[in-house]
Structure 1
């Protein structure tokens, strides 16, 4: 089968013929119909993450936002059948560790990260293996296209978990979103659907325009204004919840500083080699104003029904996040476009033969 393989950091991915996935007894093989191209793929391609023990090895098949149809089923799988249409999370729990059993499978003690390690080859490929399928496979709602949920396995569910599970978010809150790439736009769309008032921050007019279309009540162009002062003015004292969806020192600090008293920051964006995982913060004001700083990673598979319930009810439409459909052979070029923030919205691979 054809796949996009990381051979050298920063060099174009190689489109190669690779062996078919190996079916494990607890797993399934999925014929990939769509797979989002995420900034986390870009981080992997650049070789980032060594400072956190999270760098991706050469030879890895990237891609971690797939949806498709089950074509093979392991003999220990009980709830998934051949022909089922599923979305796959990138944070793969085994369903058995203490964290999985208490609803925190996104940080499973024995987990694998789809597309980020040799034990879990990714989905920039015609087919992909999903381990522990009874725990991880997410049945797609009827009538929903794979293309439209290709972002759910990472960006949409990451934004949902960060807002709803990691903070004390309430309808009517002011939510600030710093960085309007895929996960940031997902956060804007979800926060609006959940009844928040949303301020979106970016330095690209096209991204801010898309944020408006997805429900932002106000936008802030970081090139033209003092972001913190502007947000505090718009929100009459600061955001209740603020998310850094980009992972730069500036956006992280702006997110913390734009909070009102007892506000909550949630960190979703991962840093680059400019920060190497370290960002200085105004800790005295965090303490004195009782502001909180949360980390967030993916979402427990056990809670996907909340998100799919919103999708089925028509409260959210992940397809509105899609900016472009591309072929597998275009993935190297589209990753390179992320270096200077040239992509818009979510780009999705839907043609695995071209």
Structure 2
């Protein structure tokens, strides 16, 4: 946004206050800023949205019925039913043999895959997309731990990845948070010292994204809840193939992180020529041109709709988050519907 000098001062002050409350500078990721989400787990709900097919022990009721711990109903006795489950009171009252039916309890690992590639190291207002992705991953991890789930997953960029098998209790969460911080620092350092041209970096990031979607597929056991946190800029037929396979046996949620500058140009009462670059190519943009702003916004919306269509076809549930607003604010104000 383009403001008057007074408005700009107010905006900068508000941004500084928000960053201070989040314990971040908006560019780097520290353990302290991720640990604070332990107190914000009420903001989300990880209740299962589809049938679970995991091991028969845990905190979630399966849709199937069997010999479990949670009573479900009484029905007529059928050949093959366990005689230990016969409900003698109902049988005596009706004169017909009835048996109790229970629901199985299902254990559900929560796998979080966080994309911290070069394309995530961008932010125009409050946070880098990579920082917002890390905050979201921390919130999901702490909430899963509170529910008694095992937490694991993958943290990756185009140079390296860390794979974490699901663990229970706080140890699993902290292990994941340290991986977020370490990989994020690795991405920053690699980006700063990189001598590769943009084209090579894009190809490397594309290959890495495909490979890590394959790793998620291998790690995700049937019945898992899988979160992929990314901007979706490197979706391909290969990665979509892996995601489709995951959604057949697991609940797959894709969290798309965007920056405000990726959705629309800054507003200005005056026409201003600004230079933009991707690190290699340069071009001029005329800020304040209504026709250009409208065209830019329409192209951004079309790109988002294309991503959504591909991911929906792959069987994923999609949630949108902005890097320009604090995560807690978005969830409290209903900007993002977590349970839809």
Q: TM-score, normalised by structure 2?
A: 0.35
Q: TM-score, normalised by structure 1?
A: 0.33
More helix by share: 2
Larger Rg: 2
